[in-house]
Structure 1
Amino acid sequence: MAKRKVVIDDDDEAQDVSSQHSKRARTADSDEDIIEHSQHRNRPVRSNGKMRQEDSEDDEDDEGPTEEEHNEEEEQRFEEVNGEAIRQRLEQKRDTFGGIAEHGIIESIEMHHFMCHKRLTFTFGPQINFIIGHNGSGKSAVLSAITVALGGKANSTGRGSGLKSFIREGQPASEITISLKNQGEEAYKPKDYGKSIIVTRKFTKDGSSSWKIKSKDGKVISTKRDELSAICDHMNIQVDNPMNVLSQDAARQFLSASHPSDKYKFFLRGTQLSQLSEEYDTCLDNINQTKKVLHQKKQVLPDLRATFKEASVRFEEASKAREQRFKVDELKKELAWAHVAAKQTELQKQIDEVAKAQRRLPKIEAEMQTAESQFKLATDAVEQFEREFSELGDIDHFTKQRDDLQEKMRINRGKIGNFKNDEKQMNTSLTALNRSIDDYTKHIAEEEDRLAADTQVKRDELNRKLESARNAVAKADQTNKDFLEAKRQKLAEQENIKQRGVAAEARKNSAQERISAAQSMISQCKEKGQNALAPYGRNIKHVLDQIAQMRWYGEPPIGPLGMYVKLKDGLWADLMRIQLGSLMSAFAITDARDRVQLKKLLEHTNNNHINIIISERDMFDYSSGEPPAHVPTVLRVLEITDPFVLRLLINQANIERVVVAPKRLDADNILRGLAGGGVAWAADYMRVHRFAEGGGQSIKLNKIPPNDPRNMLFTSSDSASVLSTWEENLRNAEDEFKAAQAEAHQLRQEYQKFAREISGMNAQERSFYETLRAAKHELTSLQEEAKEEMPADIAGLQSAKEEAEAEKANIMQQYEDAVSRRTAIDEEQKVLLAESNKVKAQIQNFEEARGGVRAKIEDAAASRLTSQSNNAHYAKKLDDERKKVEALQTIEKQLKEEFLNWTAGAEEYCTRVESPRKVDEVERNLESVQKALKERERRHGATVEQMTIEVNNAKAVLDNAEGELKSLAALNNALKRSLVVRLNRWQEFRRHIALRCKVVFQYHLSNRGYYGKILFDHVQQTLQLKVQTDDQMATQGRDKDPRSLSGGEKSFSTICLLLSLWDAIGCPLRCLDEFDVFMDAVNRRISMKMMIDTANASDKKQYILITPQDMGSIHVGQTVRVHRMSDPERGQGILAFS
């Protein structure tokens, strides 16, 4: 069987260092195990000015042991033997439930001022936990809190680069508390901590961070990070392992766009094979480092050999003294130019530093310019909103009008109360008078019967006259009443004609306004027929031509936005003009520095009203913000041809989520059916807002003035048809104006006619009144005469009766007058109430408008303050960098002067020496030669015995060094052989784990009726999935590549892979964020059931799964706990970590 060497090279001048990415070889699907190593380049070694030759005593260590490659037949036998056992264990676990972990799982977590949460607490179940909620509710913050609290790296969460980014906006610090279960025989320090370990981590804006590790009863046991690490190691908790805590970004990448190499990395890291491999790499690096140290020690051997050689040949050096003196001179010359070369190197390094610092200046200037542009933009916004606020004016006149109306209504209510009291008193008086009159009549009749015999003839004549006078009074009174009724009817007819005249005048004025509007629209239609850009502003064609010719920092401005927007149904035309009209004429830029240039161009063409939007070209996915497909939205009634313009309108007006409806009631009903409320625009000019917590608000939309160019927006593309329509409207309005004018003229003549008739009736009324008064006077005279003829008793009774009747008539007249005045006041009160309600509505609309503008001013002011702070920051930074550049340039100037001076001095000393060595090396050689020369000069003072001892000592030192190096090299080789054994064992681990992943993956795929396999390529470090979704006979057993799968199939297959990888790791905690974002309903239901079944069967494991989807269609058992997050709060700003 062929073998491949496991190469760990021992060459003295070439070291092999294993790399993390090329070390492991394929096992499961290929049949070779290879450990590859990168090689260092060969480097010569100088010592004492000479090239030393190195011995190669360790040549026998050049090759390490070898490892057998597995061929396909052996691999197949391996899978048959072990795969069936794995399948049997899976079948045995199918209907079993795993035990609950006694330690290492999370009991609860509490967050204070963490990310978007003010305070959030969860109590987790021991096995399966689902956290659900809408997007933006802060679900992913739970996993980030777990990672941060248990000592994980902040950047591993994918939510921030540091702890400070997790602190809630506006708060100085954040705190997370986690309770870990600590029970059973393997509990961590149960005497100290008890049944739970409470870990609290607090970190502040200034960067400080602290831990408190407490017992079950709250006693602080430790505040050290090492204690937390010991707890996590004891409980096998690995929060930085992406397979244990799979964050939202990592989950999306893993589920939707994970590359085979990324899946392979997840496999290694999740199963801790990567960690073990890295530790072996560290061992290998230490072995290679030891070889480097040995290599460096071996480089000393030439010096020792040289010492020995120098001692051996010292007797022969006397003849070389002259050559050594010459060499000293040459070394001095080389030293002079070596100093020059060193100074040149120092100068060049300083020049590079200056250039590097100067390259930073334009970047800072650009950032400062951007900040200035943003400040100016915010300032313009503040000024614009302040102008809008000023243009609103005040409501003092409305307030005064309301107070006056309320005062009048209060006075009228008092009058009505008085009238009611008077009527009550009158009814009481009438009852008493009627009773008195009846008594008087009875007594008079009795007296008259007694005296009838004596005065009957005379009394009959007097009674006849009285009856005739009474009839005359009654006739005159009736005539007067009939005349007054005729006059009242005449006045009513006159008032009716007056009201009809007012209505005719109103129709005439309305028709006149429609005539003006139609004339204006006809003019605009004609202009639009000649210039399609007319509705967006003045001379827009020239603006677009100038934009095409000018140069811009970012992309050329796009606009007007209305060029890319069409309306599908004319029903919504007026509504879209009101709500989106100003956006249709807007322009968009991608670089804030282009705003000044574009603003000047628009002002030059008198288009100051056109807004400028600054936005990057971000093609984000907006589908998550849309309501169900059956709900009509602004986006769904528009046809937008440019995707960038579409996203601009989404950012500016939320068109993907604003609902449209024909009537206000329809809009309110639609919003009630949506979870979380929302905003709707109704075609009857109403804006409806339904709040998430309940309640709502409706606001009347202001119509566009007739002469506003926005009236030409969202009209038919056929200008001739639109023009014809408006001409027809003009003719109808003119006809209505003429008819209303004629009717008003006729009614005015009739009103004047009635006025003359009523004036004549007033004179007749005085004549009738005089006739009635004369008749009453005649009746009074006859009654006085009758009283004189009557006896005293009868006359007294008659006089009392007449007084009572007169008082009754007076009270009746007062009652009629009171009722008439009360009726008039009631009518006046109704008019005052209507006017008061109208004024109150105007005040309310004004307050709402002013409140909206005030909120815009506050937001723009806050943005301006931020921009101003950024501008000051970059200005200071730019000043500091300029000072730094000046300081570096000063040093460069000094070094340049020194270099020139040194070069001139060296040229005066000797000719230039090309490519001199380093200064310390030349000085060392010069010192050695000078020392040897002095020793030669003193040589004659030394004996032969002394020279012999010196040679023997040098030989002993050399032998001792060579023996020590040989023994250390043997030890290093033994360590290498041990490492090779461990690497073989590591490959066996990987082989078994890979096979288990394959079998578990196929097992999970079978839940959906699929068939597939995992292909491991350990050489290329890839992990690929092959899935067969159709019947094998129909597809001839062909496997599908994941890229050909649908989104749901791909996500389901990747979930199966994830579960198979989870089956191979030992951490008691599994956290997964948004695993079902790309799944359809069927795959999601099966995946959820499969995950729940797998979790139930897992022994002593806790699952925390996060999903934005609803759990209504998923059956949850007793082992599953669902935590629902509340909906996100709107209008709370942008998170600071973006």
Structure 2
Amino acid sequence: MAKRRVNSGSDDENSPSQSETPASKRAKTHQNGVQPSSSKDKGKNKATDIEIEIGDGEHQSDVEEETPVNKVTQEDQEADEEKFEQEHGDKIRQSLDAKRQTQGGVAEHGIIESVELNQFMCHKLLTFQFGPQINFIIGKTFCGKSAVLSAIAVALGGKANSTGRGSGIKSFIKEGQSCAEVTISIKNQGDEAYKPKEYGKSIVITRRFTKDGQTSWKIKSKDNRVVSTKREELAAICDHMNIQVDNPLNILTQDAARQFLSASHPSDKYKFFLKGTQLQQLSEEYDLCYEHINQTAKVLARKREAIPDLRSSLREATARYEEANRAREQKKRADELTKELAWAHVKTKEQEVVQKEEDLAKLNHKLPKIEKELLDARAAFEVVTDEIAKLEQDFRALGNMNDMNEQKQDLQKAMRENKVRRQQLNSDLQQMDISMKQLENQVLGYEKQIQEEALRMEKHTHAKREEAQRSLEQARQAVAAADSLKDQLGTERRELEQANLTLSNSFREDDMRVNELRDSVQRCQSIIEQCKQNDNDKYVAYGKHIKVLLDKIKTMRWHGEPPLGPLGIHVNAKEPEKWGNVLRYHLAQFLTAFAVTDARDRPVLKKMLNDSGNQNTLIVIYERDMFDFSRGELPEHVLTVHRALRVTDDYVLRILVNLAQIERIALAQTRREGDHTLRELRGGQAWTSDGFLVRVFPEGGVSSTKLDNMARGNALLLTGRDTDAEIQHHTMEMRRFEEELVAATSALSQKKKEWNDRKAQIDELQKRHRAAEDALRKAKNELNRLQQDANEALPANLAALEAAKQEAKQEQESIRAQFQAAMAQKATLEEENSKLTEQFNSIKKHLDGFHHQQSDIKSQIETLAEKRQIQKNNSDHFQNKLNEDMRKVEIAEQAAKVVQEEFTNWRQQALEICEPVENPRSVEVVQRQLESVKNALKEREKRHGASVEDMVVEVNRAKAKLDAVEKELKQMSALNKALKKSLTMRLARWQEFRRHIALRTKLVFQYNLSHRGYFGKILFHHENQTLQLKVQTDDQIATQGTRDKDPRSLSGGEKSFSTICLLLSLWESIGCPLRCLDEFDVFMDPINRRVSMAMMIDSAKGSDKKQYILITPQDMTSITPSNTVRVHRMPDPDRNQGVLRFGS
């Protein structure tokens, strides 16, 4: 029996309630396998009375007319049915008896394992786990039992209106909610499981729908993984498992059950019979085939009418051809010339192919040379770029002279100020000399006048003057003593201040030393941490993820040799404690570098370095050349960088010679030693351990540059020690630095204390100096008073002369003191100028050497930049030339390909015309002869109205058309006849199906009635499409004899029991694994309900691989749950929620 397809129509609100496609129609079936026509009484009694035959011969008649056959009488039909029942009844009864004696097996696929309702109808959340055979769902009225069957139908793709619960899918959503969801789990086991690898042992189907009519499916595996969201997949699952969700007998909803139970008209029962057994679907499909066969027969009849016209056209064309056959010889000559012309064109095209291939070969021959020149230019560009990078590094290593330039400017300013001050001082000294001479003359004049005046007054004032002179002398001595004390205190204070200044400079140096020691301790700690990391990764000193990078380099294919690096793994210092810092400072970027032999490998390696976080790693292009560099080495007694290193790879050694010139650079402990060594060598470059880059130029210039932070290099490079030794070494170094730090910190504290003590002494001397200055001032005031008293005692004339003399002497003493101070200041300025000049000359010498060095490097960089630009231009030139020639090659290849294809096509076309012609003449010669013959043929064509070719074509076309029509007509007639025969056989088989199903239904119905002691039968009238039940109850047998009772006269319980018997009979004839029935016992009395229940349970147990879901509002206390029978009780309805919209 054909499987029912799941309807793919939508359950949206706007979709039609039923599909009207031809494949889904149900047609009436009739006695004797009749396939009805489109009229209302579609061809009754016409199972074999219509044949469509198209003969194979040319003159066979068209479609045979339908010939009526004698109608079969009702009596004949009943006799035939009785005969059929006698022949097959016993066999069917035996099979039913055997089936009842065996227990039905559990289905491995196609049955429902569980169902879950979320916001569906009256349920917020409801879940059931179904048994594999019999499931009773019980509960009080209005508890929502019927929602379970509606949910099953909706989840399996059934239409909303087929459930009888609403016109659209959104009517199933619980009030107040925006969406609902139904999930159903279908068993999927056994050999016939559906896609078991994708879904597993269960298929979970979830349908979600919203208030706005949107709906979606999720078809998931047992582990809840979504496999599909398409409805077509659901249809395929239902087809595979023979689940017929829209079959009214498979899922008999509450309304459908009531209709089935209460339906009294025989035609309604017959419709249920046809729909449930799918005979109606099969009948309609046969009806559609019948209509197609008839339409095909009509088309074939119309085609047969055109055959005489085609034959007449062929005869006319043949007559015209025979009339023009006389021109065939001349046409033959034209054909031969046409063949020769075709091969002449082929030969011309072949020559063109040879020429194109020669042109392409010439262009291809030039490409390798251009590619080599491009690679050479790129390699040269990279070499020059690396040289410029090295020079730029040297330029950066020079540092800058900003501090020295600032010192030079400060010295120039100080020298200018010193010069101005000396010039001003010389002018003051000259003026002082003139004043002294004038004052000396004045004093001599005053003394002479005083002597003359004193002689006159000596006898009167001698004793008094002597007393005054003694007082003045004592006052002068007091002034001298006070002045001497002041000078002594000032000298002591200045000495202490100078000592404190020296001490302050000293502890600033000590403070710097303390900071350096702290940095050294931290550096040792950092190195120890790096050593611990290096214990796990020996490449940690050379960059990030170098070990992973080296492993990746080994697995790749390179144009040249595999990249060499990091170079530092092949280099160690012979004396790392002595030279490690200076070598690491200058060689760090080369020790972490990689080297390749082919410039094409450089971009790939650069990308790998960038990806691993080593963007600044240098890549060198080198040649594997073991050149001799001994000529460039310094004398053997000079320690060079090369001699201080131990290089285990000869190629790495030569790379360092090329990049860093390690054979030409000397090493020295101090700047002075390096300068001395280079002067002996008459020029060169040296690196010193005290942090200087020293250069001596052949022309005599010297440059020394202080290097910043000599210890900045990675301390793990060039050590030559293993990790444990390195940790031990730097641990000891850290302890030594810590001890020195403690000592330096203590010395610094002691010096600060000494400075503070001396500062207190300076403050005390400052107070005493101010007191001495006060005493000196008082002594001078006393001297001036005594001098004034002495002057007042003298006569007025003599006093005036003495006062003038004293004033002149005081002025003279003042100028003398100023002169001495000026001379001392001049000496100081001269000494200061000498020191400034010496410093200025030294700085100028260093700056000149630095600028000379800078200028030399800049000149080299400019020269190399020009060279690099030239190489860049060369590279661009060759790249453009290569691109241009490649475009030419591409164009030439395309042209050659086109010509070759034309040659191939022309040759193929020529072969279709004829075999190759040896040594064809030129195209021009053959063309002239062919035109001459064609002109002659055209003259003949004018007389006959058509060319020979046209006539041949016309004859062939007419014959081919006639043959094609006759062949197609013959084939289609045979096909249509075969289809008709096949349809007749299928109609006969359909009738057999119907008779067997009807007989099986009758016998099972009688057996089911016998459970109550009833007797009955089913009367099938296929001609009238009716199904009638005749039932005789036990009391009727006692009172009315054997007369059958019409079901309408039965009581409600008897009628329901009879209908249940009919339903169970029909279930025996369908193949769907599901049997769902809602409220089957609604009209039954207790006795009929008990018997019906037992009968249904026995029927279900005997059914093989079928699952039953039965809903009843009754209490199933009489049913004992078991492995095959499971009772599911619905929770009582919530009384606060009101009446459900659809009831239960």
Q: What TM-score comes out, normalization by structure 2 length?
A: 0.44
